Structure 1
């Protein structure tokens, strides 16, 4: 038992090791494409004007101008480098803001004003600004105008290089979230497509539905936050809305999932339910407020973070408490299946919740306490934590299925022992009566053949019980061979046997009986000590003699009439 448990633990650790290797390879520089030209980070030497104050020699990664105000523009200016490139451009990211870019006093790029005019939230956007032909040494001016209060508290890095290299660079920077987010979302969609098939075959496993929803929410949020979903969707406004919607969905989804997994009772379970419902209410309030134009979705981010943090610590406490409780219980109660798989899933949940706490605290530190601003924050911990969590979830479901199969196999073996005649391997009396009742309840025509094997007592008396048992086994084999289409071949006890034929095989009954008589003659030639013969009687349900038991009794009566005829004819030489 301990060996089975240890072997199972190793099997669950193996995919986690593979996952870490995969993340290390994908997140590293192994697959980086070599750039044609060197990208230049324009970080220092900027002039910045904001709220009537002008500062010089500003470093973008430490601009430290506080929370942005709606319609109050941040103006940046700097001379472009004296480097000639084909398809030269500058790129930077903006958050919920419109952008105007000037080179040598001429407007060369604009973004976001159409959303402002339409009264929509300006999406997060990666700006690629193509530079004019004679750009070298010219003054570059970037005007960023927030569309809402607290849109950002820091300015994005500005890169200079060729347009082609910029594209490769952005893909390489976001390769890990691209791969992880896409894998999670596609996995969730595959589970969604699988669910109708499971329901069709009666496997109504709601765990699959939960796993699908979790994977889709995690994957979509990771793709949206890192702007890589724009490789799939051309609508940036939809991408930004999806980012906030999936962010606010994570808390209720995880809360109800953990509650289902822990299966706690009492006060702890009530707290999980209450928090889950409050999270759903928060999600609905945010979505409805945005839809009604009261306030944009981004306004709920900070309250959401401070609301989720204490919940995260509660979830950690509940999971650790549950693991300790079950570990103590497992020392007193023998458990082979389930415990290790659940522990792996709970460990994955702990890792994800811890990673979420780290990224939330880092985001708010950069937004409110650091001079860099939240634009430099990332969800790298959540990305890795989500991948580990879903992998643990898969391991748990995989071993849950194995446990279910093992349980079904054991149940089948126990039922076989309860319904099988030990000597012949045929169905025993209990199963015969059970299937006769089912045939009666089906309302469809059937026939019962009652058989009595001749010569058992004579064989036992003359050659011993070993040959008597061999005679019974041989006769059982003859019945299997002679009645291939029978719904039931059983031994009622002693030398009495029963055959049940359903509607489809009723017309085959005479052929089956002839085959039985032929096989008995052939088998009797093999061993002179084992001579096979039998008396039989058949009754059809159409004869309206009553229930299945009464049909069997009528068949049995007809069998005894044949047996008497054998006696009168002297055919039963063994008796």
Structure 2
């Protein structure tokens, strides 16, 4: 018992420790805080800006420190600075969200974005603006923002300077950890979908697998969208921005359905209520967004509060349910000692904790991400690490759950073998043969065999030699009737073999092989001599096709041969 307890403890802690080691390696070698060089050909234009708004101008402002404060829809904010362009490929890169952008160089308009959305009173999506300055030399640069929604932001996003390709390359270099996590989640989703399709085709599909694949897809896309990777690689700003919010709003639904599929009996009514809520509010939010009643970004606090309520209401009950289920399984005779659901629960808890930490980091510490000045709080997204950890735990859960089922099936098969196999010979016993007969359809052939002189050997040489005689005959029978669908021992000296979809001479050939094997055995054994009486019948020989009638015919032919042997 002590050894089993130690094994169980090892199973609980070894894989989480390996996962934590993986994350340490990921953070150490994948984080830009450790690996991105500060010596590069791009820079952040943060100092020396003039900011004009509502007929007021503030000079020599650090853009990253300036607090926008309250802003109203339609308000115009202009930032200006003198910049030096090294070459005709010198460019600016900066993000905008809920604002239009107009870039002027020496008073000339060179770039615009978002005016059509503003004129139509639409939601202005997120955009990573890349503006080529064109002419080398010093230039007066002005960027005019028109606010598209009240209180669009607390600070201006950083503005980076460099060549276009260097800016994009540095962006992906800085975001490579997020790029890796997003790719992992999307690939895992595709593999899970493919596996689910294959298993469904063989009637072994798993709801947990398809729900996990959908959840991983949501997480993977959200990682790419949140980190602006979709803005860089695509031109469909509105589609990408709306999908970013919708994937975030659908995450609680996917997670609650996944947990419900595992523990439907735990807090059943609460789980169903939250699933319904998680279905309804994305539909309502989308309707309100597309009717321009309230834009989709306004619902983030509501979803956050609902997510916290769901965690507080469901997580304790689920933890208690898993613990109770494990206690029940430990007394089950089929329990293989694999605690698969523990890992999924650990992943869920880590995801929640890391998400809360990231929200705290974002909204309380208000860390401003600057890719040219990486630090540990801005370059690592703990919510993404939580997502990666959860999906790896989901993989471990599914892998170990599969092992769990295979172990249970193996144990059941072993117990069924004890119930349905003859202990002496390893052949199927009478009970198993009776079960098998009931499944027979189509054409088949039955061979009834009776081992001769068993009573004489038992009386003369003892039961040990009689048992050896039975085992020896059984071994030869299995070798000679290797194409049989089932071979059984139905009594002390009585045996049966069945061929499904037999050829016309399969019974004769098998019997000839058995007779040859017995002759060889008899030449080598000085004590016992093997011989048998047999009879066979094909299902087409019996009008009713019933296995009872086919067996009766084969048995009658066997007894006729037995009389000849004894006569």
Q: TM-score, normalised by structure 1?
A: 0.89
Q: Does 1:222 align with 2:205?
A: no
C-alpha distance in 1, partners of 2:131/2:378? 23
Are 2:12 and 2:342, in contact at CA under 8 Å, matched by a contact in 1? no
Are 2:253 and 2:275, in contact at CA under 8 Å, matched by a contact in 1? yes
Q: Does 1:88 align with 2:86?
A: no
Q: Does 1:142 align with 2:147?
A: no
C-alpha distance in 1, partners of 2:449/2:462? 23
Matched residue, 1:295: 294
C-alpha distance in 2, partners of 1:59/1:170? 22
Match of 1:480 among 478, 502, 518: 478
Are 1:348 and 1:389, in contact at CA under 8 Å, matched by a contact in 2? yes
Matched residue, 1:100: 102
1:32-63 Cα offsets, whole Å, 9 max, x none, are 478652x3322233221223333223322232
Cα distance, 1:386 vs structure 2: 0.4
Match of 1:517 among 488, 491, 515: 515
Are 1:154 and 1:371, in contact at CA under 8 Å, matched by a contact in 2? no
Are 2:452 and 2:532, in contact at CA under 8 Å, matched by a contact in 1? yes
Q: Please, what is the CA RMSD of the aligned residues?
A: 2.9
Cα distance, 1:320 vs structure 2: 4.8
- Per mean C-alpha deviation after superposition, the further-off stretch among 386-395 and 337-346 is 337-346
* Structural mapping, 1:84-233, within 5 Å: 84-85=86-87, 87-116=89-118, 120-136=122-138, 138-230=139-231, 232-233=233-234
- Number of residue pairs the alignment of both structures matches: 557
* Structural mapping, 1:348-497, within 5 Å: 348-365=347-364, 380-439=381-440, 442=441, 444-497=442-495
Return closer, same or farther for 1:306/1:47 CA change in 2, 3 Å cut-off.
farther
Cα distance, 1:233 vs structure 2: 3.6
C-alpha distance in 1, partners of 2:37/2:379? 23
C-alpha distance in 2, partners of 1:345/1:563? 65
Match of 1:58 among 58, 61, 66: 61
Matched residue, 1:572: none
Are 1:85 and 1:161, in contact at CA under 8 Å, matched by a contact in 2? no
Q: Does 1:71 align with 2:74?
A: yes
Cα distance, 1:452 vs structure 2: 0.8
Cα distance, 1:408 vs structure 2: 0.9
C-alpha distance in 2, partners of 1:191/1:18? 22
1:94-119 Cα offsets, whole Å, 9 max, x none, are 11221111122122222222444566
Matched residue, 1:258: 259
C-alpha distance in 1, partners of 2:323/2:406? 28
SS of the counterpart of 1:535?
A: strand
- Per mean C-alpha deviation after superposition, the further-off stretch among 544-553 and 101-110 is 544-553
Q: Does 1:550 align with 2:549?
A: yes
Are 1:61 and 1:156, in contact at CA under 8 Å, matched by a contact in 2? yes
Return closer, same or farther for 1:395/1:310 CA change in 2, 3 Å cut-off.
same
Structure 2 unaligned regions, length at least 5: 372-376
C-alpha distance in 2, partners of 1:478/1:155? 87
Cα distance, 1:221 vs structure 2: 0.7
1:330-387 Cα offsets, whole Å, 9 max, x none, are 8998996466432222121111112222333444447xxx697999989812111101
Are 2:445 and 2:498, in contact at CA under 8 Å, matched by a contact in 1? yes
* Structural mapping, 1:338-353, within 5 Å: 340-353=339-352
Are 1:62 and 1:371, in contact at CA under 8 Å, matched by a contact in 2? no
Return closer, same or farther for 1:8/1:505 CA change in 2, 3 Å cut-off.
farther
Return closer, same or farther for 1:451/1:323 CA change in 2, 3 Å cut-off.
closer
Matched residue, 2:374: none
Cα distance, 1:210 vs structure 2: 1.3
Cα distance, 1:539 vs structure 2: 2.3
Return closer, same or farther for 1:145/1:334 CA change in 2, 3 Å cut-off.
farther
Q: Does 1:12 align with 2:11?
A: no
C-alpha distance in 1, partners of 2:147/2:434? 81
Matched residue, 1:246: 247
Cα distance, 1:514 vs structure 2: 1.9
Are 2:87 and 2:135, in contact at CA under 8 Å, matched by a contact in 1? no
C-alpha distance in 1, partners of 2:379/2:54? 28
Cα distance, 1:399 vs structure 2: 0.9
Structure 1 unaligned regions, length at least 5: 569-575
Cα distance, 1:479 vs structure 2: 1.2
Q: Does 1:314 align with 2:318?
A: no
C-alpha distance in 2, partners of 1:437/1:330? 34
Q: TM-score, normalised by structure 2?
A: 0.90
1:176-206 Cα offsets, whole Å, 9 max, x none, are 1111012101211221122211111121211
Cα distance, 1:305 vs structure 2: 2.5
Cα distance, 1:326 vs structure 2: 6.0
